[in-house]
Amino acid sequence: MKQLPTTKLKDHNSFSVAANCQRLFVLEHLQDLAQLTQTPLHKPMMLGAGTNILFATDYPGDIILNRLQGRQIIDATDKHAYVRIQAGNNWHESVIWILEQGLSGIENLALIPGTVGAAPIQNIGAYGVELSDTLELVEAWDRKHMRAVMLKANDCQLSYRDSIFRQQADRFWILNITLKLSRKPRLRLGYSGLKQKLDSMGIANPLPGDVAAAVCSLRREKLPDPTLLPNVGSFFKNPIIDNTHLQQLLQNYPELPHWGQGDASSKISAAWLIEKCGYKGYRKGAAGISDQHALILVNHGSASGIDLWKLAKEIQNAVQLEFKLSLQAEPRIIHSS
């Protein structure tokens, strides 16, 4: 473990906003964990690539950058393989590595920004697949009991963009995850637009790598590149409401996109709600909403974290006023109130 000579966080968050912490450390090797846990730390927070956080103010504590590396197949049968990936690995690069091993199950999650350690925190999902579909184990350092723990997927309380790691922020430092992947492709092509994209690519019988390529193409078409226009991807969760409430909304807004959840609830499109309120492409100073996708808050260059947070709250208020619905932010918000 090493302490960096800077406390600046601008290069460690994909919104590229200026912020500071008290001290900044880097964890590169598991054997350094003992030293880290014995170091007197103030409000320590583990951070990956900073792709799911908004610093609306400085962080009033120490930050540890998780840079643990390594991937390996730890067990295999004729049908499945178990892959362990250290938390500091880039997620997309890990998806590609898995495909190169002839395994499938997470190809729909290609090009999601961030590190592997961030994946279980919000149970990342895209194009009809969630991490929970393949997650077996999470190894983490439990700061409450000061010991390493192995959490089975069921213990992680995974749900839509949520988990025990999000609910109990900073208790667990994720060290690695284990995925159960398939040796025989079981492709998930039901998500709107995915099969059409494969057809447009002239691929009638896709392989997992073809699905990943199609997903990458769709994401590049719909979402701004955070390296060119700083953002954290979807800023708001799609609301899940009971079907009675849905039917009331459909009376006034029959075109509202919605998806049944297999019970008495439905998920509705937050992007549609925001666009209906007139915010797609909206800009207030350097803080704005992408003109490609209404769920994406963007930094046009000089926005502060508080500028972006104020815009987010403005959008929440507008949706609440128009639809009587509360939008919840996906990223973790660091703010003073």
**Annotated catalytic residue, options 161, 163, 166, 290:** 161
Whole-structure pTM value = 0.94
Show which of 222, 255, 286 is a domain's final residue.
222
Q: Is 251 found in the same domain as 199?
A: no
Residue type, 331: P
- Tell me the per-residue pLDDT of 172-227, one tens digit each, with 9 for 90 and over: 999 999 999 999 998 999 988 999 999 999 999 999 999 999 999 999 999 999 99
**Contact, 175 vs 140, CB < 8 A?**
yes
The answer as to whether 151 is a domain residue is: yes
- Residue-wise pLDDT tens digits, 217-275: 999 999 999 999 999 999 999 999 999 999 999 999 999 999 999 889 999 999 999 99
Q: How far apart are CA 72 and CA 80, in angstroms?
A: 14
- Of the residues 66, 83, 104, the one at which a domain ends: 66
Selected catalytic residue, list 104, 234, 290, 304? 234
CA 40 – CA 22 distance, rounded (Å): 13
Residues 39-50, mean pLDDT to the nearest whole number: 96
The count of domains in the chain is 3
Q: Where is the domain boundary, 155, 190, 222?
A: 222
| C-alpha to C-alpha distance for 137 and 85, rounded to whole angstroms | 11
Is residue 233 domain-resident? no
C-alpha neighbours within 13 Å on the C-beta side of residue 134? 31
Residue 182 corresponds to which amino acid?
A: S
Do 93 and 14 share a domain, yes or no? no
How far is the CA of 279 from the CAs of 14, 134, 220, 287, in angstroms? 22, 36, 21, 12
The yes-or-no verdict on residue 337 having pLDDT over 70 is no
Cα distance between residue 177 and residue 137, in whole Å: 6
Whether 60 and 92 map to the same domain: the answer is no
CB atoms within 10 A of CB 36: 17
* pLDDT reported for residue 263: 86
Q: Are residues 77 and 201 in the same domain?
A: yes
Residue span of the structural domain in which 263 resides: 240-334
CATH number of the domain where residue 13 is located: 3.30.43.10
Question: For the chain, what is the mean pLDDT?
Answer: 96
Catalytic residue among 107, 130, 139, 330: 330
Per-residue model confidence as pLDDT tens digits over 63-90: 999 999 999 999 999 999 999 999 999 9
Catalytic site includes residue 275: no
- 141-150 in b/e form (b: 16+ CB < 10 A) is bebeeeeeee
